[in-house]
A and B are shown apart, each in its own frame.
Chain A
């Protein structure tokens, strides 16, 4: 940042700086790394050193090796499930919030969002201790007589990942749904009542369709966050809970095959970008100026 001897007035200089920063930051911190990744995905590894010659080998391996595509697909299914469950749980919660008046509404909303302030790792540890074979959930189920002995249904497997991701990501679903519900003008609901609709009809025909943009962005948020997560599967997934994120992680860590990891990342990025675009498109389509 040049301080003196500029012919531009201070204000102009500041606004120029802001403009440059606004463009430079995403370029340097987002676009350039993505481009480097894309570049790396065409390299290969020989005896632990990266060979800087272009080839499509990594992609061929991804599509032909019997390991990767099924895991990739299962991970997408898992994350779609997480998104759906999050929406199903978050929608009633968000709807309930909008029925509250004034201060209570935001106090409760804050409470629901407080978990976002806590360390991700600590939350996973906490959930892990709840889900374990001797965890709170199993003990409670046994004590209540619902189960005879601790169940392994949700211990270190895909189900554990599903439950944990859902719990961790639900605040990200509540917020956009709440905002879209809150933005619906009350007079539209009164107009619907006035035209003879029952409460259920008003909800199904007015509230629900008008809140779909929020649902779409909530779903894409949750999906994107879930699919990019490798820590949760790593910590609660055990051996059977193998996700694409973990494969990626192992390529960069244990396997030390950055080019192949980069190729897998590109595949993941394609899915993430598609999810964001779908969410965005869907959101806009329904949002015809309220």
Chain B
């Protein structure tokens, strides 16, 4: 397994249902052995991508290549991929081991061999004791693991997971995230994981593909997406963010300024050549995270502005202040996140504060 070789490539793939287009010219490469998460709100086409790859639906145009070979027309039962369905789709009339062994028994593999591999797979998902139960006798998390074992026992090149954790409660979902990730590391199989939950995506993925309205908006590591979103959608969708609209100013090495209602802000553009190349005066946003914003002190030379705290919200380990910054007629709502303290925050609602963020913690997004 080499994470640098492409396992699967989608080339200008489009899909329409009747006259309604749901995917527009998607290009996507999935690397061998990676955990790729497709993230998007509902209706973004993320599940359609998975269904096209799995062979559950035909493409409208474009092609899907596996190891360089076009598999767009390959029937579903011949594709070396297996799917973990959203509601598990376990066979209710088969036991856990019947379900898990299904993919092997339809390939006419010997009973002994099936029994051995079923036991192995059930051990992997820690369900050895439940082999003779029926799906109806299992909890949600256990069914989830049966579905996973059923998919991975076929030793597929790619496991497709369609929002598999959506039906679980929060605590179980967290456990399953860790569990899925550890299994993926152990068996070193490529996972394509579809979700609408960005926290889930950040926690599990090697790379995240952000989709919106049938387009891929950005593809990158969770770190990239969090700190260098390349479009407004990704910047807003991914975690909390402060976006301030303005016009691009001149480039200064790895930094570039932007004229906004909060004055001139300076942000990092390192490793983002398209921002360096953008013309002066182009519309853009300065983006900085609530935790990057802080009360200004003497060390801060750039990115000064003042604002009035309109609300304080305690959120456990941190406290979020909502701040109205800039001139009254064009006030900009910003969020400031500070660590919570047992004796209460030094900040008070209604207070006017001077704020700043370090240039390397701000970035630019073209509008």
Known contacts A195-B82, A198-B77; is A190 also within 8 Å of B89 by CB? yes
A206 within 8 Å of B (CB atoms): yes
Encode contact with A along B67-93: 1 for CB under 8 Å, 0 otherwise: 000000001111001110101011111
Q: Closest residue of chain A to B136, judged by CB?
A: A289
- What's the Cα separation between A286 and B93 when bound, in Å? 7
A182 vs B114: C-alpha distance when bound (angstroms):
31
Size bracket of the A interface: 20 to 34
The answer to whether B226 has its CB under 8 Å from any CB of chain A is no
For the complex, is B106 an interface residue (Cβ under 8 Å from A)?
A: yes
* Known interface pairs A187-B85, A288-B134, A288-B136; A196-B92 also in contact (CB < 8 Å): no
A195 contacts B103, C-beta separation under 8 Å = yes
- Inter-chain contact count A-B, CB under 8 Å? 67
Q: B76 to A188, Cβ gap below 8 A? A: no
* B78, B91, B134: the one within 8 Å of A188 (CB): B91
User: Within the assembled complex, what's the spacing in Å between the Cα atoms of A197 and B101?
Assistant: 12
B106 to A206, Cβ gap below 8 A? Answer: no
Nearest CB on B from A144, distance (A): 42
B residues in contact with A197, CB < 8 Å: 77, 102, 106
Q: Which residues of A contact B106 (CB under 8 A)?
A: 192, 195-198, 201, 205
- List, in ascending order, chain A residues with CB within 8 A of B76's CB: 190, 193-194
Q: How far is the CB of B74 from chain A (nearest CB, A)?
A: 12
A86 at the interface (CB under 8 A from B): no
Contact: B102 with A194, CB < 8 Å?
no
Residues of chain A at the chain B interface (Cβ within 8 Å): 185, 187-188, 190-198, 201, 205-206, 209-210, 286, 288-290
CB-defined A-B contacts under 8 Å, sample of 23: A185-B89, A187-B85, A188-B89, A188-B92, A190-B83, A190-B89, A191-B85, A191-B91, A192-B102, A192-B106, A193-B55, A194-B56, A195-B102, A196-B77, A196-B78, A196-B106, A196-B107, A196-B154, A205-B102, A205-B106, A210-B92, A210-B93, A288-B136
Using a CB–CB distance below 8 Å, which chain B residues touch chain A?
54-56, 75-78, 81-83, 85, 87, 89-93, 102-103, 106-107, 134-136, 150-151, 154
Closest 5 CB pairs between A and B?
A: A195-B103, A191-B89, A197-B106, A289-B136, A187-B89
